[in-house]
Structure 1
Amino acid sequence: MAEGAALRAVRGCLAAFPREARELGCVESVPYLDRPPSPLEFYREWVSPNKPCIIRNAIGHWPALRKWTLAYLREVVGHKVVSVAVTPNGYADAVFHDRFVMPEERQMPFMDFLDIVEKKVTSPSVFYVQKQCSNLTEEFPELICDVQPDIPWMSEALGKKPDAVNFWLGESAAVTSLHKDHYENLYCVISGEKRFLLHPPSDRPFIPYELYQAATYKVSEDGSFEIVDEKTAEKVPWIPLDPLNPNLERYPEYAQAKPLQCTVKAGEMLYLPSLWFHHVQQSHGCIAVNYWYDMEYDLKYSYYQLLDCLTKAMKVL
């Protein structure tokens, strides 16, 4: 009896924690800043309390905002062979049926990819330049001079340079499934717009995770996709829920979550704090650059790990 009461108490605390954290945080929408903050202001007002914001007038001086048309990209880097994620449905690194499926990573001339984005060539597949691990510096070094290798006030605030600078360009059908990162993330939109659905780390008790067999999309000789298991890989914990159309019968706890939604337009920058869950859509041909700064593995990280472990344990009991 005592053990059952203790478990009910823990379950009640986990259910109440996100609501209490939301009341303390008082973030009902993503606020806008009209200018980039000072390093001290940014750390004190946004990084330390782990709150997102959209910053205007922070990248207006970048040549990329004027120069990065598809025609310019074709001229400067069109001849290069680059990594492109290819999927049948636009979802890369996402749950499909009972698998966690990664995209086919295809090496192709960038100009051929642009032909697809500009609809000069039709394809039943969905193409997305989304390779991370600093693909801007590794695959598109010709473009670095049009942006910045880091964001100076962010680097000063955190006392470090970014771990990676990534270049994103793809079709509107390309969607990033709900997930979280261990990075302080700055998303800079160059053209088009990106639409974010966000959950704070405190919403973890409402967000389901399940273990999945890792797999990869492969294109067969007839052009159809098959899913090939990565048999030696460990199972992947991932979120099976689509926040745009959640299955509340299967995941009723998610009804208690209150996601934030925001749209980041050309010339704007989103600060996405570490450990925030995010789901991303984009306009067709949207071009963006993001900076990953590794988070501090401090008490905040330890608290999140405790919350995560307790949530997992209660799901098993």
Structure 2
Amino acid sequence: MQAYTALLRNYQELNSNTINELQKEDEQPSPLEFMRHVARNRPFVGRGAARAWPAVRKWNIAYLKQRMAGRKVNIAVTPLGNADAPIEWIHDGGVVSKGGGGGGGGGGGYIFVQPSETIQPFSAFVDGLMNGMREGEPVAYAQSQNDNLRNEYLCLFPDVMSGIDWARIALQREPEAINLWIGTEKSTTALHKDNYENIYVQIIGQKHFVLLPPIEGPCVNETVMPQGVYEQVMGEGGQNVWNIKKLDQAEPIPVAIWDPDNPGQRASKYSALSCPLRVTLNPGDMLYLPSTWYHKVTQTCGPEGICVAVNYWLESPGHSYVQH
């Protein structure tokens, strides 16, 4: 523990506990400047860097519904807005329930839960978000993460950039995926990491990021757990209730169970050493989130009751992360 503590403290002394912001409003980095951030494996924010995008200037509910008229989309549905997240569970015969929610005495622990998915008209999905979804109703989120902006949302694609030029030139790669995210403050993203360089652009509302560098991996208390998926089943009174179906064919995966916003819970012996970085993106802001950085995301809606963002995933160049 002493060796890791010394290593982490040294890293934290050499690197700021705030996220670097480009010096000028609306500024975008050159490919060389971007590559310096990639080489150091450090994030940055460009305030207003996407302000001139048609999406930032034009998108509102009326416009989105008009462009998406007659189209159906894939929607993630969860009871609490906690898709792709670890929860405590009780296991009984292939079906699991949230800890304390029944399920018998068949064992327990943590399980990584994916959302239920449904196909519905885009207009109905957005109307539900705008109306705030009544208390107790499932939480809906457009978060398919499968290059959806170049597929099911293709009619909106001309309003964003087909690529981020300075990232494409620096990494010599086109985006692996370009994703659209539409939801409300009821949807949250648990602490996790991705193996892609991520350029995140806020369109409507705000996104609030909590970021941890890869060196803080021992702080997040990664725990190997099975995978499951939310499903609605018929309860004793004939009403629909939420259960979790364990995916027996899916390999167990390591998942962070420590939450930097609740530091006293699920902590490892190193969690107290963590120094999370925090940043809020406003419409038109752009965040570079390096590969393998842990991040947790919450959101605040815009005036019409929705939050919209776009992200670009690019394959990591496989560089070694050297700090200077």
Query: Does TM-score exceed 0.5, indicating one fold?
Result: yes
Q: Does 1:230 align with 2:250?
A: no
Q: Which residue of 2 aligns with 1:23?
A: 13
Q: Which residue of 1 aligns with 2:129?
A: 117
- Aligned counterpart for 2:113 among listed residues 101, 104, 123: 101
**Structure 1 residues 249 and 240 mapped into 2: Cα distance closer, same or farther (>3 Å)?**
closer
- Aligned counterpart for 2:270 among listed residues 247, 253, 257: 253
CA distance in 1, matches of 2:260, 2:69: 36
Q: Which residue of 2 aligns with 1:39?
A: 31
Secondary structure at 1:114's aligned position in 2?
helix
Residue type of the alignment partner of 2:280: T
Residue type of the alignment partner of 1:187: Y
Residue type of the alignment partner of 1:128: Y
- Aligned counterpart for 1:64 among listed residues 48, 55, 62: 55
- Aligned counterpart for 1:50 among listed residues 20, 41, 47: 41
Could you tell me how far 1:269 is from its partner in structure 2? 0.3
User: Larger deviation: 169-178 or 201-210?
Assistant: 201-210
Secondary structure at 1:224's aligned position in 2?
strand
Secondary structure at 2:6's aligned position in 1?
helix
Residue type of the alignment partner of 2:81: G
Secondary structure at 1:149's aligned position in 2?
coil
CA distance in 2, matches of 1:108, 1:118: 16
CA distance in 2, matches of 1:24, 1:212: 34
In the TM superposition, 1:1-317 aligns within 5 A as: 11-25=1-15, 27-33=16-22, 34=24, 35-44=27-36, 46-97=37-88, 98-119=110-131, 122=134, 124-221=137-234, 222-248=239-265, 250-284=267-301, 285-300=306-321
Superimposed CA distance per residue, residues 90-128 of structure 1 (whole angstroms, 9 cap, x where no aligned partner): 111101112111000111111111111111763611111
**Structure 1 residues 17 and 120 mapped into 2: Cα distance closer, same or farther (>3 Å)?**
closer
Could you tell me how far 1:171 is from its partner in structure 2? 1.5
Residue type of the alignment partner of 2:39: S
CA distance in 2, matches of 1:121, 1:57: 31
Secondary structure at 1:299's aligned position in 2?
coil
**Structure 1 residues 36 and 250 mapped into 2: Cα distance closer, same or farther (>3 Å)?**
closer
Residue type of the alignment partner of 1:265: N
Pairwise CA RMSD: 1.6
Residue type of the alignment partner of 1:62: W
| TM-score of the two chains, using structure 2 as the length reference | 0.85
Superimposed CA distance per residue, residues 20-42 of structure 1 (whole angstroms, 9 cap, x where no aligned partner): 112222x2211211200111122
Could you tell me how far 1:156 is from its partner in structure 2? 0.6
Where does structure 1 differ by over 6 angstroms across 4 or more consecutive aligned residues? none
Could you tell me how far 1:160 is from its partner in structure 2? 0.9
Q: Indicate conservation of the 8 Å contact 1:163/1:292, yes or no.
A: yes
Alignment: residue pair count: 289
Q: Indicate conservation of the 8 Å contact 1:115/1:121, yes or no.
A: no
Secondary structure at 2:211's aligned position in 1?
strand
Q: Indicate conservation of the 8 Å contact 1:36/1:57, yes or no.
A: no
**Structure 1 residues 71 and 295 mapped into 2: Cα distance closer, same or farther (>3 Å)?**
same
Question: Whose helix proportion is higher, 1 or 2?
Answer: 1
CA distance in 2, matches of 1:64, 1:200: 31
| TM-score of the two chains, using structure 1 as the length reference | 0.87
Q: Indicate conservation of the 8 Å contact 1:81/1:108, yes or no.
A: yes
Superimposed CA distance per residue, residues 5-33 of structure 1 (whole angstroms, 9 cap, x where no aligned partner): xxxxxx322222221112222x2211211
Q: Which residue of 2 aligns with 1:309?
A: none
